[in-house]
Chain A
Amino acid sequence: MISTAPRLLNLDDLHQAMRQGRDLLYPSQPKIMVGAATCGLAAGAEEVLAAVREEVEKGKLPFIVAETGCIGWCSQEPLLDICIPGRPRVSYGRVKPGRAREIVRAIPEVKRDWALAMMPGDENELNGSHVNYCVPHNGHVDGLKAYKELPLFKHQLRIVLRNCGIINPDSLEEYIARGGYHSLWNALRKHTPEELVAEVKRSGLRGRGGAGFPTGVKWQAVRDAQGEPKYIICNADEGDPGAYMDRGVLEGDPHSVLEGMIIGGYAMGAHEGIIYVREEYPLAVTRMKRAIRQAEDMGLLGQNIFDTGFNFQIRVVKGAGAFVCGEETALIRSIEGKVGEPQQRPPYPAQHGLWGKPTCINNVETWANIPVIVQRGSDWFSQIGTEKSKGTKVFSLVGNIENTALIEVPMGTTLAEIVYEIGGGIPNNRACKAVQTGGPSGGCIPADRFDLRVDYDSLSQAGSIMGSGGMIVMDDHTCMVDIAKYFLEFLEDESCGKCFTCRVGTQRLKEVVTRISQGQGKEEDLELLQDLGWLVREGSLCGLGQTAPNPVLSTLRYFRSEYLMHIRDRRCPAHRCRELITFEIDPVLCNGCGACVQICSGKAILGEKNKPHIITQAQCTKCGACLDMCKFDAVLVH
């Protein structure tokens, strides 16, 4: 189907492909979609998909079965969607294969009680268009809310995630049907490279990888730089733990990244692009490679794109598992086959990048914004967001939160809106303690600061950073000393070792925090942490070292009393630091069922069947498995 398609040379060809795509996107027979990104698959989407396919084949049902990317409702995975012509799209969550079969068999009836939400139409932020799925008077399913009415989606503005969960990521036609590659057409046929660079500058777009450097300024630098050839790189080495925005885009809408890169190539005078994807994302690698092949077959990549004489090619390079390679100079070294150690800047990659040539490195999300800016113009884009942070930002909202989700909101949305409205608050009636943003380079922002507007500047004033967009919500069971220790372990491990301050500084910081977590800390240690933190920040070459003290300094700034409790009272209020807690069995509540004996990792629990058990403290590893296992609340921790 795709491989036999002719090359797209002019606008008529693009419109023809668009019509084909529409037939796939809004077919005249019922369509069943399963969210099959990595997270969906982990939650069981493959089994659901197999069950649906089998059911359709068995009944010889005239239905289309398709995969789609992740719509971002992670807590409800695996998701199954039914689109019946003339009726709203209906979503089902946490679908098991058996239930999926029943839903399929019921078509055209809707299994109302199991349904999560419905979508009466297709709104497209790329061009502001709206396609109504429903014939008049048929736009509702009784009692079922529309996506737009749900708190999770109401506050979102999906520019980067415009196609995720809507199109089949393996279908170039569906991407085109929703306006894809029209921006490329416009860019190549109607604009000069200089105009495009100016437009991106005017839009106010800043790098979405974390540091927030103005994208247009970077483009200008690469365009003006001497030296041929020039290179375009997409940084998809999404290493921040707790962040998966880029994976969502690569797996759910690969062509949006390709289109952004091709436009960038034209604007900056480059003819080769590289997508550097971390190896932990095998599905993203597969989908990206497939998308590149499709674009090549259709003439959107390769020689003489849209008959304009412009040539551009893209290839995928797989990372090898090093967090520091998210830093641009380290990433370049890694592509060159070397050890990923960051280099002194200047010279910046814009002047002296891959193989010593001018190179533009932007993050996945940045690239995916480009087609929208070209399509709707910088005026439209710069209306969104705050004065200095324009557009939207994708966040992975995870941790102790009701709706774990991949969301996209306008810059300037408050943390309170994100956590309590979009995220639906904290599960199990617990109190919210903090939100961690920016990964190992970021910090923890306490719940009493949730009126903070999320943009580059406010977050860095609060001692954290925007980072790539991981947002980890922590409840009162999270120990801030433990979190600081966690990030220091990470950074100590991932420091490339080039700078002494980072290599040894993170080790010393970790030792001090570990000491505190074991109840061996002294009050002077807190000052030592401040001093060490300053030293590591000032003395390190790259962003990893310069931001490494953030997690410890921000927790110290906002949760000093918790550090002091560990030091003075040798107490961990969150019951997390093992050296400071003990487990005991309440002899009245324990009925001697033996479940804890089976699971105990230290073989520390003794007792006869049906008689109260006891824990031998010397052997207890304090893993807490007995606490999880006990159905009678007989295990106490203090």
Chain B
Amino acid sequence: MPEMEAQDVKPLLEQFADERASLIPILQEIQATFSYLPEPALRRVARKLQIPITEIYQVATFYRCFSLKPRGRHLVQVCLGTACHVRGGDLVLERAQTETGAGLTGTSSDMEFTVEPVRCLGCCGLAPVMRVDRDTFAHLEQTKVRGIVNRYRPRKKPATVDKIAASAQEHAAHD
């Protein structure tokens, strides 16, 4: 996940006109770039559009696609549309929350996964459905979730690299 620097958001903001109607498109762009809405960026938006920061928070917290907290490296969206629900979508969600370690807080402590329910992905013919980043998985069963999640886990570093890292740490400790 990219680290946010206040100046990073400047070129992004320049693409938009200084008008109220730009607010949601700007926030969407910031969300897409940083995977959340960092506070320094929101302050810049407030200055640019001449809108009180409180109003920006109001909009940012009203709409579902915005997050004020950093999200994990992978976004797991489990569809809870009606078709998915009658075919066990809620069980898939629960399974995704336990398998990723995201639990009910939404994001796993290693910042690898954010799991969130989504209202309907519109793939009801293939229910139940789950999306990981840009990949959509169809005809799910809760028993298939573990395998899918594991595909997105970071590969373990080869042992040699670990050793080098360990010895480097040792050196650092001695210094």
Contact = CB atoms under 8 A, between A and B. Distances in A.
Interface residues of B, number: 47
A400 B125 contact: no
A472 B21 CA distance: 37
A518 to B, nearest CB: 15
Contact of A625 (B59, B84, B137, B143): B143
Contacts of A321: 63-65, 119
B34 interface: no
B58 A339 contact: yes
A271 B169 CA distance: 67
B38 interface: no
Contact of B95 (A242, A337, A625): A625
Nearest to B49: A337
Contacts, number: 157
A77 B27 CA distance: 35
A629 B59 CA distance: 44
A370 interface: no
A443 to B, nearest CB: 12
B83 interface: yes
B138 to A, nearest CB: 5
Contacts of B28: 279, 318, 320
A501 B122 CA distance: 30
Given A241-B82, A478-B86, A623-B95, A322 B121 contact: no
B122 A486 contact: no
A340 interface: yes
B122 A244 contact: yes
A338 interface: yes
Nearest to B137: A42
B102 to A, nearest CB: 14
A243 B157 CA distance: 44
A75 B126 CA distance: 7
B123 A439 contact: no
Nearest to B79: A241
Interface string B111-150: 0000000111111111101000000111001110010000
A336 B91 CA distance: 38
Contact of A405 (B119, B123, B125): B125
A628 B143 contact: yes
Nearest to B77: A280
A310 interface: no
Contacts of A77: 125-126
B9 interface: no
A31 interface: no
A629 B143 contact: yes
Contact of A39 (B19, B63, B126, B142): B126
Secondary structure dominating the interface of B: helix
Interface residues of A, number: 59
B78 interface: no
Contact of B124 (A41, A242, A629): A242
Contacts of B119: 239, 241, 280, 321, 323, 490, 494
A399 B94 contact: no
Contact of A239 (B80, B91, B120, B143): B120
B120 A337 contact: no
B24 interface: yes
B64 A322 contact: yes
Nearest to B83: A398
A74 B125 contact: yes
Contact of A42 (B63, B66, B85, B126): B126
B86 A474 contact: yes
A494 B80 CA distance: 13
Interface in A441-482: 470, 472, 474, 478
Contacts of B22: 337
Interface string B9-39: 0000000000111111101100000000000
A439 to B, nearest CB: 7
Interface string A494-512: 1010000000000000000
A406 interface: yes
A39 B123 contact: yes
A624 interface: yes
A337 B23 CA distance: 5
Nearest to B81: A241
A243 B81 CA distance: 9
28 contacts: A38-B123, A39-B123, A41-B136, A75-B125, A239-B120, A241-B120, A242-B120, A280-B118, A280-B120, A318-B28, A320-B64, A320-B66, A337-B19, A340-B62, A396-B124, A398-B83, A398-B124, A398-B127, A404-B83, A404-B125, A405-B125, A472-B82, A494-B119, A601-B94, A601-B98, A623-B94, A623-B142, A628-B141
Given A77-B125, A77-B126, A280-B119, 18 more contacts: A39-B123, A74-B125, A244-B123, A318-B24, A318-B25, A321-B119, A336-B21, A337-B20, A339-B58, A339-B59, A339-B62, A398-B82, A398-B125, A399-B83, A406-B125, A439-B82, A483-B85, A621-B94
